[in-house]
Structure 1
Amino acid sequence: MEHNLNVSIYVDADACPGEVKNMILEYISLADITFVATYNHYSPNSDQTLWTYIDEGSEAVDLYILNRVKPGDLVITQDIGLASLVLTKGVYAISPRGKEYNQDTIETSLSFRYLYQEERKKGRFHSGPKKVSKSELDAFSARLIKFLNENAGKK
């Protein structure tokens, strides 16, 4: 497998929708891609060269990714906390729903995350995340292609 980019893509795969994972795989020839998940999400059918499974633990996947990313890499995560940490390392971060995380807005996102967690503790917002929509998949695809295009030929 030959890669055209000198950057890596790390996917926080525990909560990443299957449609997004499949979309990422379409670009496997262009970048070094690693899906990171806990053993709870292990599948013997997954391509073991692309997947890294780690022990269950609070923030274990986040720490694994954080300790390996380098400036210019891409992290795909729904975790705003992880996104805020990798941004400080010069890493590009997007959500599986197509949201681009950036230094200008991450503090606001972290504040909303905190407020949402407080509301959940009070018994509100019981349901999990909604199914990823077609427009969100399109937004994700556009962000991923933008990243790949901007980093093409950077060896």
Structure 2
Amino acid sequence: MDAPPNTIVIYIDADACPVKPEVYRVAERHRLKVFVVANSFMQVPRETWIERVVVPGNFDAADDWIAERAARGAIVITADIPLADRCIKAGADVIGPTGKPFTEASIGMALATRDMMEDLRAMGSVGGGPKPFSQKDRSAFLQALDVAVQRLRRAGLSA
């Protein structure tokens, strides 16, 4: 269930991920292994290179499963900022569903903004959630994922 060393593998934090079909397309084109990780059963295409992982336990079990496997060569797809932070520290590439890459340089600000917004929501100062997912977000995600795969390949990792 773990990826071999020096290979590119994709981990999807799948419970609320709107770009799973896009990940599958890019992974198929590049012949990459994909782990679709969720807290409950989820339909995934029946392909040998796609593995569904249903983790039992608490709400963070999927995050823990991904973070334990995140390393150089892994591309993690998540909107979860604390998970992104854990994966970046482990050496993985992390991309949000809108195509925004999380990096060592940007994760601190993302965490601070998340915490501030959480506090504002708790006080009732801010309502609502993120803006609706758009076709522009989908396109930006596809481009960011392809760039990450190409960069890892140039760094000597394989499918």
Band the TM-score falls in, shorter-chain normalisation: 0.7 to 0.9
Distance 1:133 1:114, change over 3 A: same
> Which residue in 2 is equivalent to 1:154?
157
> Which residue in 1 is equivalent to 2:136?
135
**Alpha-carbon separation, structure 1, partners of 2:63 and 2:84:** 9
Q: How far off its partner does 1:27 sit?
A: 2.5
> Which residue in 2 is equivalent to 1:22?
21
Contact 2:97 2:138 in 1 (8 A): yes
User: Which sections of structure 2, spanning at least 5 residues, go unmatched?
Assistant: 1-5
Query: Identity, % of aligned pairs?
Result: 29
1:80 aligns with 2:84: no
Tell me the amino acid that sits aligned with residue 32 of structure 1. Answer: K
Q: How far off its partner does 1:15 sit?
A: 1.4
Tell me the amino acid that sits aligned with residue 154 of structure 1. Answer: L
Contact 1:8 1:69 in 2 (8 A): no
**Alpha-carbon separation, structure 2, partners of 1:118 and 1:127:** 14
Q: How far off its partner does 1:23 sit?
A: 0.7
Query: Across the two proteins, how many residue pairs are aligned to each other?
Result: 146
> Which residue in 2 is equivalent to 1:55?
56
TM-score (norm 1): 0.85
SS where residue 50 of structure 1 aligns?
strand
SS where residue 27 of structure 1 aligns?
helix
**Alpha-carbon separation, structure 1, partners of 2:128 and 2:142:** 26
Q: How far off its partner does 1:128 sit?
A: 3.6
**Alpha-carbon separation, structure 2, partners of 1:58 and 1:33:** 21
**Alpha-carbon separation, structure 2, partners of 1:148 and 1:25:** 13
> Which residue in 2 is equivalent to 1:95?
96
> Which residue in 2 is equivalent to 1:65?
66
